[in-house]
Structure formats: structure tokens, C-alpha cells
Amino acid sequence: MNWETVIGLEVHVQLSTVSKLFSGSATKFGAEPNSQANIYDLALPGTLPVLNAAALGMAVKFGLGIGAEIGRRSVFDRKNYFYPDLPKGYQVSQLDFPIVGKGSLMITMDDGSEKVIGITRAHMEEDAGKSLHEDFHGMTGIDLNRAGTPLLEIVSDPDLRSAKEAVAYLKKLHSIIRYLDISDAIMAQGSMRCDANVSIRRRGTKEFGTRTEIKNINSFKFVEKAINFEVRRQQELIEDGGRVVQETRLYDADKDETRSMRSKEVANDYRYFPEPDLLPVVIDEAYIAAIKATLPELPDARGARFVSEYKLSEYDAGVLVATREMADYFETVANGSGDAKLAANWVSQDLLGLLNKHNWEISQSPIQAQRLADLIKRIKDGTISGKIAKTVFESMLHDTASVDAIIAAKGLQQVTDTGAIEQLVDTVISNNPDQVQQFRAGKEQVIGFLVGQAMQLSKGKANPAQVNELLRNKMKAK
């Protein structure tokens, strides 16, 4: 049977304000339980919300970043449900008039193909607290530090057709949010969270199948795994003559499966209504223009500039602009070394490999961009070969001395002195009479082997071009 997968994502990001959406409580991560929960967050009678200007600004900034419509007049609503980590008995959210309307972003797949994914809307709302279910002699512990933290919920159109597309979308969203600097967006810490709406339908049909909503996905990897599991489950269910039930399912990363959350006795019925404690939020053109002026160059634009300005391939540019920090790092190396192509290779291969190996962020790199630029300069001016540069790079990890000092201390300068290279070449010729014979008999490719021998003998320090030339001359002369 030929099935098509349909996915829409709901992504929550915690906006990186210093205070909460509606109260003056701090939002620092990891504080003592309930030390950042004031009378409004606890829903004590008579307390009233006042909207945080920075949270509004960040929401608008996001909207402008994805080219979305901005709600000139947005309205907060109450979403009603009872849970102990939501003391008010309702979450303040936005339903009919969100701050951000229709927009889109473009994703790039591994094969280089591009696809535009629609964004339905994005709205401001407050986060809930946390429930701790263990160890309180039959009671549940409630920490309300997170309650009231500003969230932006970003809802995609059901435009995604595979788990891979969903991951590409999420990564692009993450990248834009980091460029805009409106959230840490760290999935493992919960400052970026993702719910996936998944359904399948027979290829060619127009109507959507019944969808399930998967919650509790806390890494990019798990997004792919959870969706793939759920798609397989729905296919098997339908092919066995069953029906998909609309429900919320939890992803269990340990077992790599989704399972039904014990369905609440009454289906979600949130009875939204306008929040009477908050007035409509009205913003004018001047406000929007002021925020527009603060927008940084975003990844798509920056990638295009890398292609035109530094002559990078689309692929390299795409890798380098994935995070703002990486793009900044690359530009420092490219401009500092004067060789963008070498800079791109070193950053996207050696540096990125190093970071991945140690699970470091680029900000944690032991090698600063300027030092990498210095290293590349020494390759360019012939002081060291590209191969020796890798050795220097390794040393730079735990040696904070300058690149030149490391090269000098380890005696790694490339040997360009003709006398020294002649000696090398003579040794290689006398050690390998057979190969020399073959070369003279016209077997050109043997030269590679002989140059390799000379390089080995010099511990990589000889200039390979010089070795090649001298070898040829000497062998032809005799």
C-alpha cells in the first residue's frame, strides 16, 4: 500500500526575558524551587497581570524574521483546565488574534532540494510549573518557578511529508530563533519543545487522515524516531483493518515507541474566552519599523552572501550558516586568513569534527577563530604543509601559545632548502632501485610512491612540489 505521511509541528520556545510574561518574577534556570514564583504566579486573589514589553518585542521580531503578518491588535484569552502546576486554573494564551499570523520558512534537504513550509501562526502564552511525582510520601511536589515564563508557540501548516522534513524544519526554526537571539532554544533543557501532529493517507487522496499528537519529544533525533514509529504504527493499524483514534501519545525514548496517554475522562474542552484582566495589545507601524531595524542578517541571506562574496559552494555555505556563532567564526577565519576556501574547509571539517567529537558548542572551542586564521596563513605562505597543519591544530587544543611559537617549538617548518631536499631525494632513489627503474622505463605513476617515501622520510616537512620536481630531474638526468 502506498501511504503519504502528513505532519504538522507545534513548537514552544521560552523567550529569553529576565522576568516573566505577566509578573516581575525572575526566569533564571536552575533556581531554588519556588524562589521565583510571586503572588501573581501563585494566583493569589486580586493579583493582576501586566504584559512584559520585551516578550512582545521578541514575538514580533520572530514574526518579522519569517516574513509573517504581525497582529496589529492581538488579544489574550484564557485556556481553562485544572492541573496543580497551573494555579490559576487557566493558561493565558492567544486564540483568535495571535501576535504573529501567516508566514513561512524554507527548508533544505540532504539532496539539496528546497521546500517552503507554511507557518500558520505564532502566539504568546505563559508556561506552566513543574510537577515532581517522586518521593513526597504520597504527595506531588509543585515547583512554580517556570509558571508564567513567556512562551512563543509556533504552529506549522501540515506541510511536512516525512520525519526528515520535520527535523529539517525544526533545525531551521532553531537556527532562525538563535540568529534572532530570542531564546536559548535548548531542547534538552526544555527551552524549545516540540509536539508533532501525525497522520497518514493513501497517496493521491485530498482529505487528511485522523491524526495523533505526539508529546514529550526532547531532541532532534527523537523527533525523527518518534514520527517514524508513529507512522509505522498507523500503517500497520489501518492495513490490519483498524482505525486511527485521535488522541495524545507520549514518546518513550528508552523503548523507542509512542503510547497512548491515559485518555482523560472528558476530552480536552478548554472553553477559551478573552482574558478580562488584559486589554488588547495594539502596536503601530513605528513600533514594527523599530524592531525591523534590529533584525540581523538571517541564515538564508547570509548563506547567499557567502556564496557570492566568498565563492563557497551552496553546500558549504549551508553548513557554515547553520548557527550564527559558526557563521561569525567562519567570517573571522576567512577575513583573518585571506583564504575563504581554506577557511571553509577547516571550519566545516576539522573544527566541526572536533566540536562534534567532544560535544562542544562553538563557543566552547579551545581554538579561537583568530588562531585558526593564523594557522591558515602559515599554510598559505608555505611555512607548513596542509598535512603538518593538522598536527599544529592538534597541538593548539592544549597549547595556548601562538601558532608561530608552536611551529617553531616543534620544528615543523616546511623544509624548502634545496640542499636538504636533494639529500632526501638521493636517499629515496638509492633505497628504491626497482621503482626508479620502472619510472625510467616510462611508468609515470611510480612518482607518487617515491614522493610519498620522501615525505615520510622528512616526517611530512618537505615541500611536496619541490620533492616531485627534484625527483623527476634526478631520475631523468641519469
Partner 1 sequence: MALDKSEVAKIAHLARLHVNDSEAVEVANRITDILALIDQMQSVDTDNVAPLAHPLDVVQRLRADVATATDQRQLLQQLAPASEDGLYLVPVVLE
96 contacts partner 1 (rule: CB under 8 A): yes
Retrieve residue 404's grid coordinates.
608561530
Q: Binding to partner 1 (CB under 8 A): which residues in 221-260?
A: 250
Q: How far is the CB of 101 from partner 1 (least distance, A)?
A: 16
* Residue count, binding to partner 1 (CB under 8 A): 57
Asked whether the beta carbons of 167 and 228 are under 8 A apart, the reply is no
Give 128 or 168: the residue with its C-beta nearer to partner 1: 128
Stretch that binds partner 1, among 49-57, 151-159, 163-171, 468-476 (CB under 8 A): 49-57
Asked whether the beta carbons of 196 and 163 are under 8 A apart, the reply is no
38 contacts partner 1 (rule: CB under 8 A): yes
Q: Name the region of 216 (left: φ>0; alpha: ψ -120 to 50; beta: rest).
A: left
Question: What does the per-residue mask of binding to partner 1 show for 360-379, with x meaning CB under 8 A?
Answer: --------------------
25 contacts partner 1 (rule: CB under 8 A): yes
Our CA dihedral for 318, 324, 328, 330, rounded to 10 degrees, sits at -30
Q: How far is the CB of 153 from partner 1 (least distance, A)?
A: 19
39 contacts partner 1 (rule: CB under 8 A): yes
Give 131 or 349: the residue with its C-beta nearer to partner 1: 131
190 contacts partner 1 (rule: CB under 8 A): no
In angstroms, the Cα distances linking 46 to 92, 239, 277, 310, 360 are: 16, 56, 10, 60, 47
Helix axes 163-180, 299-310, angle to 10 degrees: 80
411-432 exposure pattern, b = at least 16 Cβ within 10 A, e = fewer: ebbbbeeeeebeebbeebbeeb
411 contacts partner 1 (rule: CB under 8 A): no
Q: How far is the CB of 208 from partner 1 (least distance, A)?
A: 27
Q: What span, in angstroms and rounded, lies between the C-alpha atoms of 2 and 13?
A: 35
Retrieve residue 322's grid coordinates.
547553520
351 alpha-carbon distance from chain centroid? 16
3-state SS of 98-130 is: CCECCEEEEEECCCCCEEEEEEEEEEEEECCCE
Q: How far is the CB of 231 from partner 1 (least distance, A)?
A: 24
Q: What span, in angstroms and rounded, lies between the C-alpha atoms of 44 and 25?
A: 14
Give 80 or 468: the residue with its C-beta nearer to partner 1: 80
Q: Which pairing describes strands 212-217 and 248-252: parallel, antiparallel, or unpaired?
A: parallel
Question: What does the per-residue mask of binding to partner 1 show for 142-171, with x meaning CB under 8 A?
Answer: xxx---------------------------
Q: What span, in angstroms and rounded, lies between the C-alpha atoms of 396 and 375?
A: 10
80 contacts partner 1 (rule: CB under 8 A): yes
Q: What span, in angstroms and rounded, lies between the C-alpha atoms of 192 and 178?
A: 11
- Residue from 1, 48, 53, 286 touching partner 1 (CB under 8 A): that is 53
- Residue from 51, 106, 352, 420 touching partner 1 (CB under 8 A): that is 51
335 contacts partner 1 (rule: CB under 8 A): no
42 contacts partner 1 (rule: CB under 8 A): yes
Phi, psi (degrees; rounded to nearest 5) at 3: -110, 150
443 alpha-carbon distance from chain centroid? 51
Q: How far is the CB of 74 from partner 1 (least distance, A)?
A: 9
Three-state SS at 78: strand
279 contacts partner 1 (rule: CB under 8 A): yes
- Residue from 14, 36, 348, 463 touching partner 1 (CB under 8 A): that is 36
Give 141 or 190: the residue with its C-beta nearer to partner 1: 141
Long-range contacts (CB closer than 8 Å, 24 or more residues apart) made by 308-317: 310/334, 310/340, 310/341, 310/344, 311/340, 311/341, 312/340, 312/341, 312/344, 314/112, 315/112, 316/344, 316/348
Q: How far is the CB of 83 from partner 1 (least distance, A)?
A: 7
Q: How far is the CB of 196 from partner 1 (least distance, A)?
A: 18
Stretch that binds partner 1, among 20-28, 188-196, 308-316, 461-469 (CB under 8 A): 20-28
278 contacts partner 1 (rule: CB under 8 A): yes
Give 131 or 294: the residue with its C-beta nearer to partner 1: 131
Give 52 or 197: the residue with its C-beta nearer to partner 1: 52
CA angle 456, 461, 464 (to 5 degrees): 75
281 contacts partner 1 (rule: CB under 8 A): yes
Q: How far is the CB of 200 from partner 1 (least distance, A)?
A: 26
Question: What does the per-residue mask of binding to partner 1 show for 257-276, with x meaning CB under 8 A?
Answer: ----xx--xx--x-x--x-x
Reported as type and span, the H/E element at residue 201 is: strand 192-202
Q: How far is the CB of 55 from partner 1 (least distance, A)?
A: 7
- Residue from 2, 111, 133, 433 touching partner 1 (CB under 8 A): that is 133
Asked whether the beta carbons of 470 and 421 are under 8 A apart, the reply is yes
465 contacts partner 1 (rule: CB under 8 A): no
- Binding residues (CB under 8 A) for partner 1: these are 17-19, 23-27, 32-39, 42, 44, 50-56, 75, 80, 82-84, 96-97, 131-133, 136, 138-144, 250, 261-262, 265-266, 269, 271, 274, 276, 278-282
